[in-house]
């Protein structure tokens, strides 16, 4: 997703590059005592939206405090699912659960803070009159109702989900109307603003925005109660925005908000729609087994567009050779309707489609080839029982010559090796807790099967060559994920992602909750793996995987520690250590502690991760460290850790030289001896972050 995709984004960027640093500096008093509160958790948001959700008077950031909770929640879903384009927020919200997003919306909705005085805006008399007319009376000729019709007589919004229009910057109002006109702002539910914005001319938009931004606020700034409610109780009525529905355009997707948790997408018509070609109708138990296997394999994440119908495909996967779109796996004509269980097995095992086409390795068939036939059949039964979704994925956009079957044939000859697992270790009952020699071996086999096949860990954790491949495609020695610039660290190396020395419960906790008691957290692409897949694994499967990971041969990158990674000129370490230390004090210490020790909550877990002795900080590749500091974010919200704390993004607050000094400082503090980070490293990643 691109920030500059819309002119709202472009405009915002221009403003914030100048306003953000001061904002960030001002909003953070020197020593705030830690408390386990929502306000503390939401600091990642208030860094931009102002302390306690007030917009900066001179900025583009919209105020969010006091807006109707239903409205705020809808917007969070819209950003997450790309109906509103703003990458920094979208990716911050991505690892969170709908329950947590709702809690955030309710938190900001109940904040009752004074508004700044209205902006002084110069409007001609004609503009002022036109703006007032549109706002209070509308324009029947243009079929534009008065803004007050929906936004409330006082224009302070209407519960549960129509926002107020006062106290917002004029630039922001203009940008939103523009985004609706050009289709860049949409909604996951019925959207009645798009037709209104399109009916207004540029000068109408400018007049009404100017008028709105210069209005004083009434004494009571709270949103009005829903239409048809006599008493001002804040109970949510059914269909409070009736008036809206007259104007509404159909929602962008057919899904209601929040109907997409990976594990609850139960097949609608159990066995009745199973393929007529399969010899026997699969049992409910087989379908349920297939559902679980699909969770183990995280098939849904790749095969679902954000916010779209589960398994209907069409999600873009960026590769160095172009964009590949995932297939529709539902029993629809555009999906697997005419397939047989054999065709499906061929796809997983040989990487070929039903018509014999060689598939792109963006589908990790180097891993799925290790799935046993009985597991393939259970997956097949599950997909056949899904409700058919008639959506054809877009055509792949891969560059010549990589888009030819000949190129794929060559690639496969070099890098694809068919698996030969005959029996699924998952079918056997798990090793008992008091494991004897044989059951220990069975547990390792189960773990290996999960890591190599369904878990497709090597799809990210393997080093890659220029053809996006590795001689041994099951290697786990670590690699940069192309196009995303996250480094999936080596699972062999105890200084990277190796867990050989960890207590077993810590390893299990990492995959089940996204964090450990000792302060490790998963981020970026790994947070998605935990959120959508591993948190839902059964305990016996998590333990088998953990044991297998602990049995991997170990390497030790610390042998070469301090050495600069090849191909990068080493910056002079400590060139400006004083600047690094100052930046740390001003921007990071409040959360991560004076000695990088982090902050714990009462249950002994970390609210703020320790940075001292942290592998992400001291790993030889600085890629993940940079990603985290540029983009901020939250650990994934999981059943075991439902309300993570957040970190603000620094991409707009610190420049390349400052970031290089700060990260170099972190990498040489508290006993760390990692290579310095250069301005060039930062520039390359920042470029990707802002795109
Ligand atoms: C890097 C700065 C930044 C951060 C961090 C940030 N936001 Fe935003 N937020 C923005 C901008 C800019 C917009 C307006 C985007 C647009 O043009 O649509 C926005 C819009 C919103 C809106 C829609 C407001 C409206 O009136 O429609 C909500 C709600 C919101 N943010 C909530 C949050 C929450 C919750 C967080 C923390 C998880 C957060 N934001 C973090 C910059 C930020
Ligand atoms: C038919 C009902 C209706 C009318 C009339 C209407 N609006 Fe809206 N407006 C809405 C709804 C509903 C939303 C929330 C959209 C969403 O959830 O994404 C909204 C949102 C907005 C927003 C976004 C606010 C924010 O914080 O991002 C702006 C700006 C806006 N309207 C301006 C106007 C103006 C200006 C007028 C009058 C010319 C107007 N609206 C008339 C229903 C209406
Ligand atoms: C990393 C993303 C990713 C994951 C994970 C993934 N797939 Fe796919 N899959 C794709 C892409 C991309 C394609 C399209 C490849 C092509 O058309 O060349 C695809 C194609 C397929 C096809 C072939 C469909 C056809 O029309 O030829 C099948 C079957 C399939 N996937 C099943 C699965 C199953 C089952 C799982 C889980 C065990 C899974 N996929 C996990 C990305 C993924
Ligand atoms: C989509 C790509 C992707 C897949 C698939 C993936 N990983 Fe990761 N993994 C990453 C990235 C990137 C990181 C580094 C970020 C971080 O530390 O969380 C990481 C980090 C880790 C870590 C270190 C976490 C820490 O905090 O020290 C472990 C352990 C790990 N992965 C194991 C696995 C296992 C086991 C699998 C297969 C079940 C797997 N990963 C699948 C991308 C991936
Ligand atoms: C408002 C509190 C807050 C501030 C300020 C803050 N962080 Fe964080 N930081 C967090 C939280 C919460 C996490 C864990 C969330 C995550 O992993 O995404 C985190 C995670 C990290 C991590 C990843 C740790 C790991 O094990 O993967 C690094 C590195 C980091 N912060 C560095 C910094 C630096 C450098 C600064 C100053 C520029 C900073 N942080 C400022 C709250 C904060």
Taking the C-alpha atoms of residue 292 and residue 288, their distance in angstroms, rounded to an integer, is: 6
More confident residue, 233 or 550: 550
Average pLDDT, integer, range 241-252: 60
pLDDT in tens, 451-476: 999 999 999 999 887 777 877 878 89
From the CB of 442, is ligand 4 less than 6 Å away?
no
Token duo for residue 242: 């009736």
Q: Residue 363 and residue 351: Cα distance in Å, rounded?
A: 8
Using 50, 70 and 90 to split pLDDT, how confident is the model at 260?
very low
Who contacts 66 (Cβ-Cβ below 8 Å, separation ≥6)?
Answer: 53, 108, 109, 111, 112, 113, 164, 221, 222, 223
| Ligand minimally distant from the alpha carbon of residue 362 | 3
Distance of alpha carbon 109 from alpha carbon 68, whole angstroms: 6
The fraction of the chain above a pLDDT of 90, given in percent, is 68
How far apart are the CA of 306 and the centre of ligand 4, in A? Answer: 21
Predicted confidence band of residue 483 (pLDDT cuts 50, 70, 90): confident
**pLDDT value at residue 103:** 98
Distance (angstroms) between ligand 2 centre and the Cα of 202 equals: 16
| Atom 23 in ligand 4: residue holding the nearest Cα | 497
Task: Indicate if the pLDDT at residue 280 is higher than 80.
Answer: no
Instruction: Locate the ligand 5 atom nearest the alpha carbon of residue 43 and give its number.
Output: 1
Q: Which of 7, 47, 48, 175 to mutate to test the pocket of ligand 1 (most atoms within 8 A of CB)?
A: 48
Rounded distance, CA 281 to CA 515, Å? 42
Tokens of 540: 């016996």
Given a cut of 80, whether residue 320 has pLDDT beyond it is yes
Task: Give the whole-angstrom CA distance, residue 140 versus residue 278.
Answer: 61
Share of the chain above pLDDT 70, in %: 82
Nearest to 282 by CA among 362, 346, 378: 378
Residue entry with tokens 């000129």: 569
State the burial class of residue 59 (Cβ atoms within 10 Å of its Cβ: 0-12, 13-18, 19+). Answer: buried
520 lines ligand 4 (CB under 6 A): yes
The ligand placed nearest to the CA atom of residue 584 is 5
The pocket around ligand 1, CB under 6 angstroms, is made up of: 8, 12, 44-45, 47-49, 60-62, 64, 72, 75-76, 84, 86, 88-89, 92, 104, 163, 175, 646, 648-649
């Amino acid at each position: 997703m691109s920030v500059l995709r819309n002119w709202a984004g472009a405009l915002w960027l221009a403003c914030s590059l100048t306003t953000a640093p001061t904002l960030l500096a001002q909003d953070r008093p020197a020593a705030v005592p830690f408390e386990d509160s929502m306000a503390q958790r939401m600091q990642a948001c208030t860094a931009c939206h102002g302390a306690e959700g007030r917009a900066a008077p001179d900025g583009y950031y919209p105020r969010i405090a006091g807006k109707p909770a239903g409205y705020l929640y809808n917007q969070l879903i819209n950003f997450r699912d790309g109906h509103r384009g703003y990458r920094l927020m979208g990716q911050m919200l991505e690892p969170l659960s709908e329950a947590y997003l709702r809690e955030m919306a309710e938190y900001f909705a109940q904040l009752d803070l004074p508004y700044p005085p209205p902006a002084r805006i110069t409007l001609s008399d004609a503009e002022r009159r036109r703006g007032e007319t549109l706002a209070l009376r509308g324009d029947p000729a243009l079929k534009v109702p008065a803004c007050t019709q929906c936004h409330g007589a006082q224009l302070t919004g209407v519960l549960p989900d129509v926002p107020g229009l006062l106290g917002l910057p004029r630039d922001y109002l203009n940008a939103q109307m523009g985004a609706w006109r050009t289709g860049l702002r949409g909604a996951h539910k019925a959207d009645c603003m798009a037709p209104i914005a399109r009916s207004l001319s540029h000068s109408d938009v400018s007049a009404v925005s100017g008028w709105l931004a210069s209005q004083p606020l009434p004494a009571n700034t709270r949103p009005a109660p829903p239409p048809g409610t006599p008493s001002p109780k804040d109970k949510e009525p059914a269909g409070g925005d009736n008036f809206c529905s007259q104007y509404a355009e159909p929602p962008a997707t057919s899904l209601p908000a929040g109907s997409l948790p990976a594990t609850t997408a139960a097949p609608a018509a159990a066995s009745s729609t199973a393929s007529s070609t399969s010899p026997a109708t699969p049992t409910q138990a087989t379908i349920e087994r297939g559902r679980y296997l699909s969770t183990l394999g995280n098939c849904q994440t790749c095969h679902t567009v954000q916010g779209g119908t589960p398994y209907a495909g069409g999600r873009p996967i960026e590769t160095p050779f172009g964009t590949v779109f995932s297939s529709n796996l539902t029993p629809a004509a555009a999906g697997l309707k005419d397939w047989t269980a054999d065709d499906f097995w061929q796809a997983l095992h040989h990487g070929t489609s039903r018509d014999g086409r060689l598939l792109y390795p963006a589908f990790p068939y180097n891993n799925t080839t290790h799935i046993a036939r009985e597991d393939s059949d259970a997956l097949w039964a599950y997909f056949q029982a899904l409700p058919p979704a008639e959506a054809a994925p877009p055509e792949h956009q891969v560059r010549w010559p990589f888009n030819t079957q000949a190129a794929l044939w060559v690639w496969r000859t070099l890098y694809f090796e068919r698996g030969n697992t005959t029996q699924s270790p998952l079918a056997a009952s798990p090793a008992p807790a008091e494991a004897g020699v044989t059951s220990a071996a069975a547990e390792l086999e189960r773990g290996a099967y999960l890591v190599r096949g369904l878990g497709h860990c090597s799809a990210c954790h393997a080093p890659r060559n220029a053809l996006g491949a590795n001689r041994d495609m099951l290697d786990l020695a670590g690699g940069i994920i192309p196009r995303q610039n996250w480094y999936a660290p080596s699972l062999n190396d105890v200084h990277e992602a190796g867990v050989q020395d960890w207590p077993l419960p810590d390893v299990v906790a990492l995959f089940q909750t996204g964090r450990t008691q000792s302060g490790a957290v998963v981020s970026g692409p790994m947070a998605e793996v935990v959120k959508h897949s591993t948190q839902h694994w059964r305990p016996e499967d998590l333990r088998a995987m953990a044991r297998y990971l602990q049995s991997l041969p170990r390497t030790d990158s610390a042998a070469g520690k301090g050495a600069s990674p090849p191909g990068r000129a080493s910056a002079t370490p400590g060139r400006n250590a004083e600047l690094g230390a100052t930046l740390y004090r001003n921007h990071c210490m409040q959360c991560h502690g004076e000695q990088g020790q982090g902050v714990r909550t009462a249950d002994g877990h970390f609210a703020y991760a320790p940075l001292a002795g942290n592998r992400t900080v001291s790993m030889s590749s600085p890629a993940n460290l940079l990603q985290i500091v540029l983009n901020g974010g939250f650990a994934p919200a999981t059943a075991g850790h439902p309300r993570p704390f957040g970190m603000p993004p620094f991409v707009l607050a610190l420049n390349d030289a400052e970031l290089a000094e700060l990260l170099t400082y972190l990498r040489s503090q508290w006993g760390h001896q990692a290579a310095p980070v250069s301005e060039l490293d930062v520039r390359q990643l920042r470029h990707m972050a802002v795109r």
